[in-house]
Chain A
């Protein structure tokens, strides 16, 4: 074997090792959280409130809170994001304005999540007076996932072949009729993927809801969108940092982390499957 072949062999081995390390990181994280989390999860854990100062009981209020926050975020971001994508792809002339809008979207996506939290605190909680509530937290999360939804929808709309649009216009349909009847139905799988990824992202975020929506413990379940809530990600953080009984709280945190992971990764997996199916489609 000459030295060039040896080098190639060693090089490929290094690449394989690096990839193996990346994959094992994921499996190690999943392994510990699944093995230790599964022990505490049972029907009661999922359907009951915490009790005895967070040292026992379930996490139902946190599950419900995360559901409400995510629902609020997606109700806000989905219509806006899809409409923005329609405008950018179908209507806007590719000029300076569109470039500025695109820079805006890119940079909005890069803003640290804690900064969104401060924005939500100053605007929704204080200025609009929504208080620490589902509404404030949901809107903050909505702004956070807006770029995700716009980008995915744009991609989906762009992927609809022009021949379909031209055929519709040739039949005498207006631009809007074409978008509504031809482009959107064909772009649905892509838009769905984007929104699902957005949901996954919103469900897992902690920093933006820290000052806008969550509480460590609330005696009753939320009654309106102006109630403060418990949420799964914050629950993990609070159990690890605010409790006085780590020996009973860490197992609960494992259980909560497993529920959150199951939820978020399940959502992501769903998005990946839908995208694969959509890509397989031939025009």
Chain B
């Protein structure tokens, strides 16, 4: 996909091609804290869940008050907020929907992400200024369905994870509508919306936020011949599994930009602020570097290494270049440990003493080699010296989650920078 220049998104400035249509970098924000981090680390937009009608019933979802605060914070950085409202509703969910959508509209969000036409139409009626984006739950995977939703007046569509780059190209050619697609994070192995494993196995409705990820479990494969069952999975074999590797399209960002894709989406409202900060800052750099100088752009190893620092599973490009093979699934393993732990969040820095004040997020002690990273600095490594608590008492280690500790650092840092520790 790379190397196909799209003149509609670029201009020649001083003899050099630059990209003028930069895609939006869209990040998950499970809580207000995560929203602020995502925006500070470079997201152009974030998506959040409200108290109802979203698909993560376990996420720290936003009240209307928090939504308002989030919108105001994002606005200062020129960033937008979308609210996932993408359940497939049952009759019992109809009551209360109008009030809920009015509340979302009044909170000032830019748009909602929706799967069910009930919610699309209700939003139009009660909160007409709110943009409506079609959720990936609709498994949108062809240009004629894209055209259908365009004619229905939707502002944007999020494609099925099963869509290839070539398919996106035709959609863009045939229909003038904003297209959003996933670039990073955990994936459904099923077509989204077309899986009710949780309903059957745990009596939890997957399409209303109850998914218990039964697709990540192990099974044995059995063959049935004339009423007799014989195991295909032998004792010594790895069990049958269908757990997909996580999506990572870092290398395909130039291709996605040249396709004119409007929004590049990172999965993970349940992930930590460390994850959100790391992934957002890497993709921010990639998008900015490519748009500034596409001709001389190369993928840097350090970007890939950076993503490994917070990766929970091995990664793969999934459907972007065609149907993924067996090597894009996890057999015999359930994930991997990230190469780094999130060790602390910077709450303050004193320039004259060079002392950082940190909120502890994982165990560390004097002598540990750590690194600091942030949205406005180059990452640097640091050996931890004497650590003291809030009252100045020297500590043998920072043992307690959220404990406030201080030590001296070689280079300046600022609030909301993060400290991580290699494993």
Q: Do A and B bind each other?
A: no
Q: Which residues of A contact B (CB under 8 A)?
A: none
Q: Which residues of B contact A (CB under 8 A)?
A: none
